[in-house]
Amino acid sequence: MAVLGSSAADLRAAAATLRAGGLVAFPTETVYGLGADASSPQAVAKIFAAKGRPADHPVIVHLASASQLPDWARDIPDVAWALADAFWPGPLTLILKRGPNTPLAVTGGQDTVGVRVPSHPVALELLNEFGGGLAAPSANRFGRVSPTTAAHVVEEFGDDIDYVIDGGACGVGLESTIVDLTAQRARLLRPGGLSREQLAAVLGYEPQSPLANPAPADAPAPSEDIAPRAPGTLESHYAPQTKVVLVDTPHLESRLAAYQSRGATVALLALSETAVASVAGVGGQLRVLEMPPKAEDYAAALYAGLRQADALTCDVIVVERPPAAPAWEAVLDRLSRASA
Ligand code: TXA
Ligand code: MG
């Protein structure tokens, strides 16, 4: 694959490749996306082939502006426009009813479609140059850690895609928040770059996650109100090759000592000064990556940190568990999946 910059000429080349049905990875404020013409089932099929992703998994359609929503969705509720007004461009994906011209290849065969307007200037320029919608899942192989730099994308795909546009490191670093607006009340399908509180400010209530209150096993299957399939909710998602273990701060020292005594090599993603200090005593086969203390900065550094830890080919990646506070919800979600 060739790496492009973000000059007008480079973006024209990228848009031409997309129009011809090719694959172009591009930066967004959340993670890099693997883009294809969303109106072309053949182009979208190439995304699934490159990722090794099952064809029944829906992909998000990226748009230059909310004004294009009616091209992709039908029966758009007022709340969708209110959320779009408040948070687009930005890290929010809305699940809406599928428009008649939206290929089923994009929606994984479902009658709903995920759409978002990204805020990364290069993504917006590319979308404007291209003109239509770009189907784009995160630009990683199925089940792996999402890429937050162009170099990560090259690592993932080599020559299997046409271009990656280098727009630097992603600012948010975690995927968009996904909100399902196809039922009575908005539901949070995936925590992400936009917090529950921010959504609540516009919705007037906190959106709940479908799994937060699972129906009893003997309850009749919900029909209209069923949660759409969202592979980002598979437990094994976002995982490095190396086993990841989440450990609470007070247990770090003893866990690390236990690994040491077994001769296991450990990469530690440390969050607190306590952790950094306590590992000094353990020594031995231990590599420490210090993570930023603020949730936002931690999120931006997480995927690169996991990749870096993975590249050390230790026996285990130990991650110091961040606090169970709202600001950490998306980070905790990804960490628990990486360690599942
Ligand atoms: O931040 C992001 O959202 C990034 C950037 C590239 O925009 N994209 C991303 O795409 O994370 P992907 O494919 O890795 O994750 C998209 C998630 C999946 O969990 C998918 O199931 C869900 O969105 N999704 C897409 N369309 C859906 C639909 N119609 N119903 C339910 N979930 C949907
Ligand atoms: Mg993904």
**What confidence score (pLDDT) does residue 223 get?**
34
Could you read off the pLDDT tens digit of each residue along the chain, which spans 340 residues? 899 999 999 999 999 999 999 999 999 999 999 999 999 999 999 999 999 988 889 999 999 999 999 999 999 999 999 999 999 999 999 999 999 999 999 999 999 999 999 999 999 999 999 999 999 999 999 989 999 999 999 999 999 999 999 999 999 999 999 999 999 999 999 999 999 999 999 999 999 998 654 544 444 443 333 344 555 555 556 788 999 999 999 999 999 999 999 999 999 999 988 888 777 767 667 899 999 999 999 999 999 999 999 999 999 999 999 999 999 999 999 999 999 8
pLDDT in tens, 231-247: 555 555 678 899 999 99
Could you give the C-alpha distances from 96 to 34, 39, 80, 99, 201, in angstroms and in order?
22, 17, 8, 9, 20
Query: How far is C-alpha 102 from the geometric centre of its chain's CA atoms?
Result: 22
Q: How far is the CA of 116 from the centre of ligand 1 (A)?
A: 10
The CB of 59 under 6 Å from ligand 1? The reply is yes
pLDDT at 224: 32
**Any idea which ligand is nearest the CA of 141?**
2
Q: Give the pLDDT score at 219.
A: 41
Give the pLDDT score at 217. 45
Q: Sign of the CA dihedral 310, 189, 90, 131?
A: positive
Ligand nearest to the CA of 190: 1
The rounded Å distance from CA 279 to ligand 1 centre is 38
Residue 215 confidence (pLDDT): 47
Report whether residue 136 contacts ligand 1, using a CB cutoff of 6 Å.
yes
- pLDDT for the residue 220: 41
Cα distance from N-terminal residue to C-terminal residue, the chain = 32
pLDDT at 231: 52
**How many angstroms separate the alpha carbon of residue 138 from the centre of ligand 2?**
4
Asked if 200 and 192 touch (Cβ cutoff 8 Å), the reply is: no
Per-residue model confidence (pLDDT) at position 282: 73
